[in-house]
Amino acid sequence: MAIKPLGDRVLLEVIDDDLQKQGSIYIPDTAKEKPQQGKVVSVGNGRYEDGKLIPLDVKAGDTVLFGKYSGTEVKYQGKEFLIVRENDILAVID
């Protein structure tokens, strides 16, 4: 992966449910809820507290839940990614 997040940021590949039709009614993209689940692609080095580097709790390959409107959307090589801070990640799914 050519994108390497800095500090306490995490690069996520958003997992989309891809539900576009409910019964016989099509749901437009603007009415769909934003996904809240993603797969960690890469992580930054960590954050500094009191001069010490504290590594992140998540690692590449983890599936995580994140805040609904958190992060910055990035498009790279035709794929959509999300860059979030570690504190925007709510949980790791086992």
- pLDDT score recorded for residue 58: 95
Domain coordinates in residue numbering, the chain: 9-17+30-93
- pLDDT score recorded for residue 43: 95
Q: For residues 31 and 13, is the Cβ–Cβ distance under 8 A? A: no
- Does the pLDDT of residue 38 top 60, yes or no? yes
- pLDDT tens digit sequence for 39-75: 999 999 999 999 999 999 999 999 999 988 889 999 9
Instruction: Give me the CATH code for the 9-17+30-93 domain, please.
Output: 2.30.33.40
Contacts of residue 12, Cβ cutoff 8 Å, sequence gap at least 6: 38, 39, 40, 41, 64, 66, 71, 81, 82, 83, 84
Which whole number is the average pLDDT over 12-20? 73
